[in-house]
Amino acid sequence: MKVLVTGASGFLGSYVVRSLLERGYDVVGTYRTPGKDRVLLELGVKTAVRMDLLDPQSVRQAVRGVDAVIHLAAYYTFVGRKDMYRKVNVEGTKLLAEAALKSGAGRFIYCSSTEAMGPVDNPPADESTPPNPQFEYGRSKLEAERVVASMGSAGLKYTIIRPSGLYGPGNLDDISYWFITSFARGGIYSKFMVGGGLNLIQFVHARDAARGFLLALEKSDVSTGQTYIVSEDRAYTYVEVYRILRELIGRDPPKHSIPPWLAKTLLTFAEIYDRLRGGENFLYRRVVVDAVTKHRAYSIRKAMRELNYYPTYDLRSGLRETIEWYRSIGEIP
């Protein structure tokens, strides 16, 4: 089977590509930035195709002759431009799904996010919980989900996968990366904890997330037309996360807890500085306070039951591997 993976040169993409190659699939990987084809060739991909979700011709060319599409590429940032969320995540996904359907691709697996569900009032949420995305990124992923699902009546054999917070070796530009490295270097998030630290957060190692996509592809008899949450099988309080980081990094967790209103005041200056230098670090935005003071906890029972999906990493073992990798490349002391 020939499988097209969009965003193949990205963090999650590299794990999905490796999983497919290990199972003997013929992988076609897409990239957008010139030179990224080298990354794909190093992974073992024989065919690397340059594709831009804003360029219809490149999209139509990319899907020619493939049997399945795993769509990972996205405008992934929490502090981006509203028009780009719509153009890339919604309209780009629609364009790709239509092209895949027209070209005869038998499967379309869309990478959404638990951010399409947003914060949870009564954790854990599951696939039937009414979505309440908090950020524009999550809203765009939810809208893209609905676009994909609406094409099921036209014959698109789709599956939607919602990974929770991703982490793992290779991650150099994401919330988990910023948080881990900030803590390890003695940054602001090693000094202060917002609120009581009892809100829940849930993660998934990229290798486990990749397995979710592979299982959805191989179990098309049950996964077609379905949505699955892919994550570790439990959530953690921020207090628990800090305890694990203390054990693995050797730095004491924050000694001071500050109320949300004060955290927003302090972050005002960090946000101004980050914006002036063109940064996109979500942890330096005031809206992060709203994120960490709400629950983000989700059930994976449906994926376990229908896909036989069982994560192999708990947060401690996954962070140990990730931190060792960060140290090996000099990202943290």
For the stretch 52-78, pLDDT in tens is 999 999 999 999 999 999 999 999 988
Asked if residue 85 has pLDDT above 80, the reply is yes
Pick the CATH number of 2-167+203-232 from 3.40.47.10, 3.30.1490.190, 3.40.50.720, 3.40.50.620: 3.40.50.720
Q: Would you kindly state where each structural domain of the chain is located, as residue ranges?
A: 2-167+203-232
pLDDT at 191: 86
* Separation between Cα atoms, residue 300 and residue 298, nearest integer Å: 7
Greater model confidence, 134 or 267: 134
CA angle 115, 52, 61 (to 5 degrees): 120
The answer to whether 88 touches 54, Cβ cutoff 8 Å, is: yes
Average pLDDT, integer, range 154-164? 98
250-278 per-position pLDDT tens digit: 999 998 899 999 989 888 888 887 788 87
Give residue for tokens 């950020």.
135
Average pLDDT, integer, range 117-136? 97
pLDDT at 255: 85
User: Rounded to the nearest 10 degrees, how much is the dihedral formed by the CA atoms of 141, 143, 148, 152?
Assistant: 140
Token pair recorded at residue 301: 């029972």
Token pair recorded at residue 28: 């076609």
Radius of gyration of the CA atoms of the chain, in A: 20
Instruction: Of 232, 111, 195, 210, give the one whose Cα is nearest residue 160.
Output: 111
* Separation between Cα atoms, residue 189 and residue 215, nearest integer Å: 36
Instruction: Of 322, 10, 12, 331, give the one whose Cα is nearest residue 166.
Output: 12
Average pLDDT, integer, range 184-200? 90
Q: How confident is the model at residue 287 (pLDDT cuts 50, 70, 90)?
A: confident
- Mean pLDDT, all residues of the chain: 95
pLDDT at 271: 84
pLDDT at 79: 83
Percent of the chain with pLDDT over 70: 100
Average pLDDT, integer, range 278-295? 86
pTM of the full structure: 0.96
What residues have CB less than 8 Å from 282, skipping those under 6 apart?
Answer: 77, 78, 79, 175, 178, 288
Asked if residue 211 has pLDDT above 90, the reply is yes
290-307 per-position pLDDT tens digit: 899 999 999 999 999 999
pLDDT at 229: 98
Token pair recorded at residue 100: 């895949």
The answer to whether 19 touches 25, Cβ cutoff 8 Å, is: no
* Separation between Cα atoms, residue 187 and residue 321, nearest integer Å: 21
Return the active site residues. 141
Element (H, E) at 49: strand 47-50
* Separation between Cα atoms, residue 132 and residue 135, nearest integer Å: 9
How many other C-beta atoms can be found within 10 angstroms of the C-beta atom of residue 25?
19
Asked if residue 99 has pLDDT above 80, the reply is yes
